[in-house]
């Protein structure tokens, strides 16, 4: 240990270059991984808080074939039972498709009938209004009745409407016609959601879709999203016992959107790609520095061997130098990288110039980096492994030196 430590300081310039390379690589790696974490978490959060919910209760087969005729009782019993789970909030929804028409244009829409007070507990929309608010709850009337609706900002721009303007909604069926006044305009992080989504009161949606007293799903949100699986198990057991005659499915967002879950798992593996890229490059730098050090110290190694130092100890000498260099770079890298990431986790990384593309993925213009504890532990293990692998060839070269030849080396 003492010889290895002194050797590093004797060639301090070379050591400083290697430590700096490891530091820069690790800082870049932490930044990339924390950005990936933030990207994934915001993507999931947007999808869950706009359309999926942590857990959804729906009629059997509705997830595979979303037909409005596959519905559930809308009397509030399901929501009341589900909210028996600690930290759970329920919102009945009636979902369907339709056409919205203003004085200027028309557009296809995804229609959602909700109870505004309940929906505000499970949806990010309640925090995304840029004008007005939720439609007022009330019983549906005839075609001449002006109900209220809220719609996305992108859809409002397409239709050329503002709060207070009149629009008409058409849905399939004989009663699928209604005149409405815009009560609110919202903008979420998902532009695709804002381009098509329209909210009306649950009573108005039941009238338009001709399913009085019915809903297509009950969306469940949690104060702690990590308990989604527990909530799903609780809801299955309690609802089966309380409503034995109702065929229903209880699905977490991962079960409801397996493609999104698979994509997120794939994106989560990008951290290992980042680690591999950084530490492979680091390995070549360490190996090059140690190999040069070995060639410069051939006479020194010859003296050590002549004094009785075993070849295995010479191998450990080179390995220790590699470990010291790498761990020094990791310590400095964590000391520099963690505060940088912490700063951007609070202040956020402004990507407004890319907002149009990010909104397609459900990502906002400002991304708050996320750094987990494991993100700082994993580089340490990988760095040690990298140091050992990078030092293997220089150590092998040093161990093969013959004392007599090494003493004559110039």
Sign of CA dihedral 280, 284, 289, 293: positive
pLDDT at 138: 61
pLDDT at 81 over 90: yes
Residue range 144-151: average pLDDT? 83
pTM: 0.75
pLDDT at 260: 79
pLDDT at 60: 92
Please, where are the H alpha helices in 48-152? 77-82, 116-122
pLDDT at 151 over 90: yes
- How far, in Å, CA of 236 to CA of 385, rounded? 47
pLDDT at 321: 82
pLDDT at 22: 81
Regarding predicted confidence, which is higher, 294 or 58? 58
Residue range 116-135: average pLDDT? 93
Other beta carbons less than 10 A from residue 295's beta carbon:
12
Sequence ranges of the domains in the chain:
2-46+264-407, 61-246
pLDDT one-digit tens code per residue, 261-310: 787 777 667 667 777 777 777 777 777 777 777 777 777 777 877 888 78
Other beta carbons less than 10 A from residue 41's beta carbon:
14
Closest CA to 284 of 68, 18, 43: 18
pLDDT one-digit tens code per residue, 359-395: 666 676 778 888 877 777 777 777 777 777 877 877 7
pLDDT at 117: 92
Closest CA to 398 of 302, 288, 289: 302
- Confidence category of residue 317, pLDDT binned at 50, 70, 90: confident
- How far, in Å, CA of 88 to CA of 55, rounded? 10
- Confidence category of residue 157, pLDDT binned at 50, 70, 90: very high
- Confidence category of residue 143, pLDDT binned at 50, 70, 90: very low
CB proximity list for 323: less than 8 A, separation 6 or greater: 384, 387, 388, 391
pLDDT one-digit tens code per residue, 12-52: 888 888 888 888 888 888 888 888 888 888 888 888 888 88
pLDDT at 406: 62
pLDDT at 374: 72
Tokens representing residue 284 in the block = 């070549």
pLDDT one-digit tens code per residue, 318-362: 888 888 888 888 889 889 988 999 998 888 888 777 666 666 666
- How far, in Å, CA of 295 to CA of 265, rounded? 46
């Amino acid at each position: 240990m003492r010889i290895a430590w002194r050797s590093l300081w004797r060639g301090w310039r070379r050591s400083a270059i290697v430590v700096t390379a490891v530091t820069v690589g690790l800082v870049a790696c932490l930044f990339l991984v924390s950005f990936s974490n933030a990207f994934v978490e915001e993507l999931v959060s947007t999808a869950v808080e706009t359309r999926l919910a942590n857990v959804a209760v729906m009629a059997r087969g509705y997830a595979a074939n979303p037909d409005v005729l596959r519905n559930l009782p809308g009397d509030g019993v399901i929501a009341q039972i589900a909210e028996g789970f600690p930290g759970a909030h329920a919102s009945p929804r009636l979902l369907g498709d339709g056409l919205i028409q203003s004085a200027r244009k028309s557009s296809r829409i995804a229609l959602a009938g909700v109870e505004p007070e309940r929906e505000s507990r499970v949806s990010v929309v309640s925090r995304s209004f840029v004008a007005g608010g939720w439609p007022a709850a009330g019983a549906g009337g005839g075609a001449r009745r002006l109900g209220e609706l809220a719609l996305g900002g992108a859809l409002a721009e397409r239709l050329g409407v503002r709060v207070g303007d009149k629009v008409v909604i058409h849905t399939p069926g004989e009663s699928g016609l209604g005149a409405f006044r815009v009560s609110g305009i919202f903008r979420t992080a998902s532009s695709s959601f804002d381009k098509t989504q329209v909210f009306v009161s649950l009573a108005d949606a039941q009238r338009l879709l001709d399913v009085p007293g019915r809903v297509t799903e009950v969306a469940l949100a949690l104060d702690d999203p990590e308990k989604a699986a527990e909530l799903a198990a609780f809801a299955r057991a309690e609802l089966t016992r309380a409503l034995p005659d109702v065929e229903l499915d209880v699905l977490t967002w991962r079960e409801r959107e397996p493609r999104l879950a698979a994509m997120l798992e794939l994106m989560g593996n990008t951290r290992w790609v980042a680690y591999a890229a950084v530490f492979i490059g680091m390995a070549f730098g360490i190996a090059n520095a140690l190999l040069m050090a070995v060639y410069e110290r051939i006479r020194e190694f010859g003296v050590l061997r002549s004094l009785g130092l075993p070849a295995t100890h010479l191998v450990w000498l080179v390995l220790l130098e590699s470990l010291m260099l790498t761990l020094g770079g990791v310590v400095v890298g964590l000391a520099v990288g963690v505060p940088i990431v912490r700063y951007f986790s609070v202040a956020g990384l402004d990507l407004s110039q890319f907002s149009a593309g990010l909104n397609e993925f459900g990502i906002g213009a400002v991304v708050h980096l996320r750094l987990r504890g494991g993100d700082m532990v994993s580089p340490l293990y990988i760095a040690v492994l990298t140091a050992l692998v990078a030092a293997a060839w220089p150590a092998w070269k040093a161990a093969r030196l013959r004392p007599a030849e090494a003493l004559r080396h110039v």
